[in-house]
Structures are given as structure tokens and as C-alpha cells.
Structure 1
């Protein structure tokens, strides 16, 4: 039985927490594993790399659980890429949870909670009709039952122990076993049992999350002692007559904490009469869904969450949030969204009130990312101030000293993740869904103690797992792509040696004729064609991937197929047939030239730029375009003229992408890329010069423009270009500043050398930065929140043409905070923010 190749491409979640999504190409079938969206980003940056899916049809989607970073782009992938009749495979609780969680986004659009200027292309797909069709495509399954996702590919969900309905999945055919954990937790929570790993004879590849890969929590950690400490802090707050705020994610963490509080009351750890409140909205619906699935809860009686707490609506008729201190005079516990204390959420509104008094307590029980309000509060010192409303610059002095973090994560910690991987014992472990530090640490440590390949790929990286029946587990960026342009010299040489003419009637040239010709002349392979002659002149590596790029004429396709047959026993080979690439003026102009450019660029991108080009075979235009692409992407290009005795490596010439054109039209470029003002995308596209229009595809199905492979190559090359460039950027200092003395004309004159080092490093992006503006604002009380004694920048806000940061440094004056505003070229601030980061250290 023949087997297809297997590739895994990281669309999102590579060395980041963000928009988790992975493309699994299994033979002829394309399977999406999770379809997340990064709720902390916007526009193009919030989505997985969906441009990789262009011209692909998705035959199945598998969703592991209903958190937004795993389902947020589901409506987009469903509407634009899912093959007609294909299914979305989920566990049974997710039949209810996924629509409920996505409906919150739909309601946000309907209520105009997202201003029109902040809406992106994908927001139009958060629609009730789209959601209705998504639900019709659900195929729900119980844990540990086998089902078929695509012909010949079997699957089985197993409990992941993260939240209600969370699952890992095993995918297999008769030759290969692939396991994806989703978000996994191997320890019991209050309401959820830990994961139950499948009993497998072997695992070829394990795709495993890494959220807590940098955690300091080790095997010696006493979870029960942490639970008691949590109860003690709550009880102390009650006895002080204060309120307790516990920021929680609405799905999973809220329900677990509510049940934990109920148990603490029964055990006498906290007062039995202290009420527990949650905020209406997403949490109320999740509570009802938990009650529908008591068999998925550790103790069935705990499924009735609403019997253990009381819902309330904190918003008044005028839209402002009511005072909980005034509304609830007795000590109470508030379990509110969001878990990271995102600004504007119920938890943030309550925190703004509670931080003003030392009798209250704010206790975090989950992850809070840098840049989020929760992260700032965890690191705040009493007497410092925190900005609760960035747009209005509403600062509040923190008086409360009872702000704590507790280790109650629904994810496995580092040692537990390594243990899970060891139990499954894969030939290859792929660490994802964690920041760079976490994924790299886990990959390195696992490789040190196990006889397995262990890697931490980035976004857009592709790993080949199987070639036919051979399990190879190869990161394509580590393998050279040998791109060979293919003509019809096989046929030309055949006719010369046999005395036949192509146009005559002497003989019908068939594949059989040419195979016989190859067999008869196998001892002199180089002489068979221009392509074999060229390949014979260089040292091919055993790890090379050979791509034979041919036209779509019968003759061109036949010659490409023969080359693949000659080399496939010794190298990994692929035939790439280009639509419209033939000596036909109309076909070549309309699609052949563009498809050739995109086909070669796609191969180069797929191998992370590790490629060479043999531009010998094919007609002149084909050779010329391949040569130009090689020079543009900085790849070696080889050429062999028929009268040459040796191959020529063409010299690099000073040619590059049109960066100046990009910088001049950056605002339009990013508006089109992000899908802002998507209703007028054609008009926006037409504002770009022709050189930049080639960076985009028009997807008529989506009515959206997406990056082409050439555009992706330019986008990546731009990052390298900006890194190389550095120049003096104008500096303006407005008013009083503790960073500057009398001389303010150079970064070298800045009083804090560590802050100077940070800003000097930003000069790498000088082509996009127009000015550094320093200023300061006075605070009503205290100094700004931050890590005492550390020098760093903390992101505040972004506009279309600027980024604003707090400047934390040892010399900060009481009641005064230094501000740095980075003025960027129009439309490029989002890109610069991604490059610089939200929290920047020397």
C-alpha cells in the first residue's frame, strides 16, 4: 500500500502564546489543528498565517477546546477554506461551548462595541449566519472512541484535563501515529480530572504545548499548601472587612475557583457566609453549559455552578460601572473576567476601586501576559500608580498591599510537560504554544535526556514528517531546496539521437519511448538533458530536496516527471507544475509568469531561504524570471550553456526589493494587509504602485487581498533590511524630564545609560521611525507601577503613526513619570511594535 507525504506547518503558536493553528498535510488531505486568534493583537498580527492556505482546500478541522486562542479564527477558516461538506471535529461539550464563546464576538460587533475604525476584514465573519453554518459542520465525538477524519486517517480524542471538553487527539494511518496535546494538564484541578494519556505502542510525532515551559514550579511544589495559603489570604481580607477580587477566565478557571471556594467554606477555611459573585455575560452561559455535562466533571454535584455563586450586572443604565463598595457593603468575593485583568473588563473596573484601600485583596490565579493590566498590578508596589484607562490617561495610586499570585494553572508546568512527552515517547517532539524561551528550553532539555528529535519551530516553519513510507522528521529550513527549471531538452535530445522530428509523423513520442531512451543511456545521465547535465556539475547533498519546476504543456510535464523518476531513489523530489507556463503568449502573460514567480518564491519561503536555483532548462523567459528571483532572494543561481564544460554560478548584483516604495506607501500597504476598511479594498489596492501590487493576491471568494509568496518574501526581507539600517533619529524633549539634563540633542546625553542602550537598539528600525519625543506627566499620588530598581520601557498605547511607552528608571521622580513617544511612518506602528515589543529591557 502507498502512503502520502506528511508535512506540518506552524500557522500560529510557534514560539508564541498567540493564535494557535497548525496545518497538517497528510497525503492529499489538508487538516487544520485548532483555529485560534490572538486577543491581545489586532489586524494581520492577530491571525494565524492564513496566507499559507491560499489555493488550498481544508478537508477537516480539529478543535481541541473552546478558548479564543484556539477557536477565534474558526469562522474565517470555515468561510474561506473549508472544503464543501468537510467537518469540524470536536468533543461533545464543545458543541455548546464553541458557539457560545464565538457569539460573544458576534454580540460585540452587533452592539458596535468595536469602533468602525478598529474593525478589520475578519470582523465581518463574526456573524450569526456564519456561526449557524459553522454549527452545522460539527462532528462531535466522545473521548477514546475511534472515528475517521479523512479517508484512511483515523482519529481519537483523549481527555486533556484543561477545561470542560478539552482534548488531545491521536491521528494515524497504517504507517504513522501523530499526537497533538492541545492545552494539557496532568494534575487534578478542583473540578476537572487531569489528562488521561492514550495507551499507544509507539508515537512518531508529538505536537505539545509549552505555556509554562519557563515556570519555576517544580516537582516539590505543594499544591495543597498553595490552596491553604490562598484560603488564608481570602479569610484575612474578610476579617479586615474588605472585598476579594479574583480575576479569572470566564471558561474553565471561573468554574474551578467557584467550586474551590465552596469546598473551602465546607472545610472552615473561609467564612461560610461570605457571598461569591460573578458577572453576567459569557460566564453565565458557561455555567449553564457545565450543568449540561455532569459526566465530564470530576464530581457530578459540582456541575451546578450557579448554586454556589450569584450573578450580577455591574453596568448602570448610562454604561458606567457601579461601585461594588457601595453596592455590596459586606465583605464579598468577586470572581470576574478577565483573567489577565484586561482594561475595560468587569475585573478591571472592580480592581480600579479596590486598589485605593489596603483592606481589600486582589488575587491572581492564572497567567497574566506582559503588557496587560494584571501583569502591572502583580508587579506594583504600594505608593506607585497604574494607568487603568490608557486613552483617558486615568492613573490610580495603588494603596492596596494585598496583591498576590497563586499557582492554580490549568496548564502543566515544565517538569509535567517533560513527563508527558516521556510517557508518550515520540520519535519527534515539537514544542509550541509558548514564548521563545519556554519552547526552546523544553526542546533542549527533552533532547538531552531522550533519544528523539526535539524542536521548537517558529511561525510558518514546515516540518516534513514522512516521505512516502519513510519517516524522516526533517525541518525544511535545515534542508536545501534545489530548484530546477525544466524545459523539453529530454525530447529534443531523444529526437536528435533517434533521427526523429517532433513535428513529423515518423514516430509518436510517448513516456515509454523516453523511459526506454533513459534506460539505454543510463550510463551517461548528464548527456540526457540540460537539467541532468547541470545537476551533475554540483555536489548534491543527501538532505537536499529537489524541485523540478515545469510548464503545464504535455511535453513540459512529461519531462519534469521523468526527472523526478530519475532522482527520487536517492533524493527527496517534487514535481511542481506551473499553470500557464508554456510558450503561449496569452497564457504566459495572464498567469504563467506570475505563477512561476509565486511557485519559486513559495519554495524558497518554505525552506526558510535555504535554496539554490538551477536556471538552465526551460524557455528564455522561464530562465530569466528564475534568475531574477534568485538574485532578489539572495540565493545562488547556477547556469550551464550547452557549449560550456563547467557550470557557472551567476554573481550577486546589488539588486533588492523596492523598500523605498514600500516606505512611501506603508500606510496603504498595512491597511490592505490588515483588512482595515475592507469594504473599499479594491480602491486601497489601486493606490499601491505596481511593484507593491505584486505582493498581494486578490482572493475573490473572500473579497480580500492576502500576501502572495513574493509579498511574504518582501515582508521578511524588509525586516532584515531595517535591521541593517541605522541612522540618527531626531529627538524632542518636552518640558521637565528626569532623563535629561541641559543638553538634549543626542541619545549619548541621556542621563540613564541603560535607557540610552534600549533606544539605540531601536535605531535598527530607523527607516520607519521619524522622531523620539520625550515628555512627562504628573501623577496625583505615588510613582508609576514597575519593578523597583529596574530600567525598562512599558508599552502604553498605539496610534496609526506612533507608539507610547512609560520609561521606568531608577531616577524617576515621585509624582512624575517619563514618557517616550516613538513617531513612526504612517501605517507602520503595528509592525514596529511587533519588532520592539511591549516591555523592553536593555
Structure 2
């Protein structure tokens, strides 16, 4: 059995050491530790940390803070990270089959501080001596992480930039999420465990939500307890009906600052997706935006797209003779045009159907459309009118400037139009989801809105 354990690293090692009032601890070292707490790993210019760096390396002989921590940990084996990893291993061994072996790879994820990487270096060394495989980045021979800080030329892959309790950082949480996703993609979600015992307790709620969405097991060891708490993946997810209308705003802070979206932003605040006093995303909003990058909503999914095309196909068959409306017309380059309408002998309309979120280019889908749709249209004869039909909850999500990029790809003699298919639940509907309402009813004229292009 191969398992990868992602362990967040705090400073419990230092806290426990300070409680002993032993193992070389002095009032002077306590003061230096307080000063080091103020330093960021990536952002300090060196002037703050430089004054105290020798106390870490050992200004007097070899027994600086780093060496004293190593001696303390070797004697006591007492910190949250090691206790929890040991408890997880014990729990995993209970499920081994006869003759099966357990192989663990430990990733130590540090905050953007100096003390967290310092503790991680000591913990990594201890775990390696105990036979564990630790993926925390090894530094050059005869150099410590703290020495690298002093030289300002070290950027560890396992130190999460901007993840610092002193100030909230949207980027810090994004960096942590990205690191977890990268490691998980290699190890596999079924083999990746999140150990959230150490580190900032404020990270527990967002990491717990993230783990559930990405089907990761969570482990937590409460203080001095000997029993590890295991929270396995559960069948939970976001309610697409609620979040669909906010998709574009989640990816675009400029739009969140636009007065046109004030009502939607206020609703996002009520859902705890945006902070109360600004338009920055909350941890929940960040997780949702990252999740949407990986897991397209039903409205952006291929199956939903086909269904909307079919609905429009039926709708236009009622407006024109049935034989004048074609669905999924193949082009010479191997692609297709979603709908082609031939009202008369001299007119032919090519229609492309896309979710409104395509304009945000979240999945590079708008870039792909710009590159390929015009050439597909040109491969069909006598197309003299193009309609781009976007669908979603609100026509406010349509960025006219972005749509114009597509219009400019066509010859001046082609009449380019943009329409918006509004998918909403009617006030009289008893259905819980807008999609149920949409599936059961025919498209009405009032749902198709002309977007003015200037």
C-alpha cells in the first residue's frame, strides 16, 4: 500500500520546547524567537532576519536554535506533526492485508514564515532518521534553510508563498490549493491523505471543504489524544443552481467592483463568497473558483450544450419550415456548425451555441472558438449571416467587447449578431432547479434577447 501524507507544519515543536524551559533554552533565545515570528520567508529584505540569523545557526559554536531543536526533538519526539504522522501510520497498518507492506511519502507544507520552515527542516531530518521518505526539499550539503534565507536565493517548493497569518492573503490560499492539487494529481486522490494537525487552525475549514470536493481523506490528532480523527470523502458538492449565476464574477474582480453587478456581489456576500467590507473572495469563494476551473458546471458541460442546441433546434423549426433548419452541420475541416438555417434561396444563417461563461476563457474555450469557428464557417457555401447564441442566467454576463473579437474575424459582408438565451426558473414553477424547469418547457420568444454590438 502506497500512501502520500500532506502535512501542514506549524510551530508546535518550538512551543513544546519553550514549555520545557530546558534543552538550552534561554531568555535571550526566547526573545529571538519572538522576533523571528515577525519575519516572512519570501518577503523579508534581510535586515530584520539578519540580526537574529546567527541565533538560529549558532553564533557561539554549533548549538544555535536549529541544533537545540534537533536535540530536543531527538530526546522528546514531541510535536504535533510527528505525533499525528505516527498515529496515521498506526491506523493505516490496521487495514493492511496479510503480507502487504505500507510505503509512506511525507510532504511537509510550510507557511510563509521563518519558524515553520525551520521546524519542518528539523522534523524532516528526524523522520528520515526513522526511515520515512520525506519530500520536503533537501538543501545543499552543509547548508540549512535558514542560511538560504539569509542569502535570499532559495524558494522551496514546499513553502507556500503568501500563506501568512499576520495578514490575509488570497494568493496564499490559492498557492496552498495549487500545491495540494499538484501533489494529488501525481499520487492520486485515493492515495493522498491530508494531515491538518499542525499549522494554522484557521486553515482547517477551507482545507476540509477542499478535501471533500477533491475526494481526499483528512486526518487530525487533537492535542494529547492518542486516537486519530479520520474524515473520509463524502458525496458532497456545490449547488450549481445557486452558484451558476456567480461564475463570471468569481473569476473577475473588476466585474465584482462594477456597480452593474452590485446586487449580485451583495448576494455573494450573503453566501460568504465575498468579504463583507470589500470585493475580495473569501476562502470559500477561492475554493469555489478553483473548483470551477477543474469541474465545469452543468451549463458549461458538453451534455448540457448538446441539450441547449437541441432545444434551439426545435424552437427554430417552429419559426421556419422544418427542412430549412439543420442541426450539427459538418464542415470540410472535420468540425461542425451547431445550427444552420436557410430561410430562402439567397440567405443562410450559421449559428454557434455556447455558455456565456465561454467569454471568460476559463478553459481556453474562447481562444479555441476564435481560432477555429471562422474557418469552419468559411468552409460552408453561401453563409451570409452569423449568430452567436450565448446561454445562462443573466444577459449582464455578456461582455460586448469580448464578443466583438469574434465579430472582427468575419468579412464585412457577413452580418454578425449575438443573442442571449435566458435560462431561469419561472416564478410559478415548483421545481427546485432551473434546469428541471428548462428541460420540461419549450423556449419562449421572451427568453431570446438581442445583444447590441457597437
- TM-score normalised to the size of structure 1? 0.27
- TM-score normalised to the size of structure 2? 0.46
Which has the larger helix fraction? 2
Which has the larger strand fraction? 1
